[in-house]
Structures are given as structure tokens and as C-alpha cells.
Amino acid sequence: TDIFPSLSLTHEKPELDLISRKPRKVTRDHLVDAKLLLQAYGFIGMTEMFFAHWMFFTYLSFYGGISFRDTHLTTGEMGFMGKTMDELNELNVKVYALQHW
């Protein structure tokens, strides 16, 4: 995931006065501010969360034959829709692996 941002840095013009600049003031020049946190957690985090859940239930529906309606507000009973707990656990591991891919 870092290849394209790294390649874009190679096309930047060099900063000739980098060594002659004064260091940042730790109390005033923060590296992480409220704007960055809002973008990281509020926008990017929520978008990733939505698509991760969407992929989870899409995979569960196509390959497991279990729709979102079947899983909504259900309990962990032994066996579900004719599948054993081992089959459900195997499907769950595959779905989580797909989410983190």
C-alpha cells in the first residue's frame, strides 16, 4: 500500500533550505491535530468499516448461503440453516481473512 505514495515522493522537487531551517516548536507545531484525526477516524475509518462489513455479508451470502436477514439478531445456537458449527466457523475464518485482505 505504500508503493504509490513513495513513488510520488520521488517526483517532488528537492528542498534546498531544509538543513538551514529552524526546528519546529513542539508546543505549537503539532504533527497530529484535530483535522487529521477527524479525517482518519471520521471519514477514512468509517468508509473502511462500511466496506469491510459489506464484504463480510456479501461473501457470507454468496459462498455461505446465509443472508444478512438470517444473521440479524440471531443467537449462537448449535447449528444454523443446516450447517454444523465447524462449517460455520470455517466460513467465518474465510470471511475475516477476506475482510483483512
Residue 80: strand pairing partners: 83
- Distance (Å, rounded) from C-alpha 88 to C-alpha 29? 51
pTM of the model: 0.52
Q: What is the pLDDT of residues 6-45, one digit of tens each?
A: 888 888 888 888 889 888 888 888 888 889 999 999 999 9
pLDDT at 68: 81
How far are the Cα atoms of 6, 13, 31, 63 from residue 18, in angstroms, in the given order?
19, 12, 17, 55
pLDDT at 76: 59
Q: What is the pLDDT of residues 79-100, one digit of tens each?
A: 667 777 788 888 888 888 887 7
Beta-strand runs (E) in 1-101: none
pLDDT at 73: 64
